[in-house]
Amino acid sequence: MRKQFTLKYLAKNKILAYTLATIFTILSLLLGISIGTVSVPIVDIVQIIGAEIFHYSIDHIDPMYQSIVLNIRLPRVILAGLVGAALAIAGAAFQGLLRNPLADPYTLGVSSGASVGAVVTIFFGISLPYIGAFTLPFLSVVFAFITIFLVLTFARKIDRSMRVETIILTGVIFSSFLGAFISLMISLTGNELKQIIGWLLGSVSMRGWDYIKIILPFFVLGSVLLMANGRELNAMSFGEDRAQYLGVDVKKRKLVILTAGSILTGAAVAVSGTIGFVGLVIPHLTRSLWGPDHTHLLPLSMLTGSGFLILTDLIARTIISPTELPIGVITALIGAPAFAVILIKRRVQKGG
CA distance 237 to 35: 41
In degrees rounded to 5, what are phi and psi of residue 192? -85, 5
Residue from the set 237, 274, 304, 331 that interacts with other proteins by CB under 8 A: 237
Tell whether residue 245 is a contact of other proteins (CB under 8 A): yes
CA-based nearest residue to 80, from 335, 309, 317, 312: 309
Binding residues among 95-124 for other proteins as defined by CB under 8 A:
96, 99-101
- Angle among Cα 97, 98, 100 to the nearest 5 degrees reads 120
Task: Tell whether residue 156 is a contact of other proteins (CB under 8 A).
Answer: no
- Measured from the CB atom, the residue of 16 and 180 that comes closer to other proteins is 16
Report 1-40 residues binding other proteins (CB under 8 A): 8
Q: Is 152 in the site for other proteins (CB under 8 A)?
A: no
Q: Is 336 in the site for other proteins (CB under 8 A)?
A: no
Mutual orientation of helices 164-188 and 110-124 as an angle, nearest 10°? 20
- Check residue 239 for interaction with other proteins (CB under 8 A): yes
- Cis amide linkage into residue 322, ω under 30° from 0: yes
10, 228, 334, 338: residue in contact with other proteins (rule CB under 8 A): 228
6-44 exposure pattern, b = at least 16 Cβ within 10 A, e = fewer: eeeeebeeeeebeebbeebbeebbbbbbbbbeeebeeeb
| Segments in 71-134 forming alpha helices (H) | 74-97, 110-124
Count of positions on this chain that bind other proteins (CB under 8 A) = 26
Q: Which residue of 249, 319, 341, 347 would you call a contact of other proteins, by CB under 8 A? A: 249
> Which residue's CB is nearer to other proteins, number 209 or number 245?
245
Residues that bind other proteins (CB under 8 A): 8, 96, 99-101, 228, 231, 234-235, 237-239, 241-242, 244-250, 287, 291-293, 349
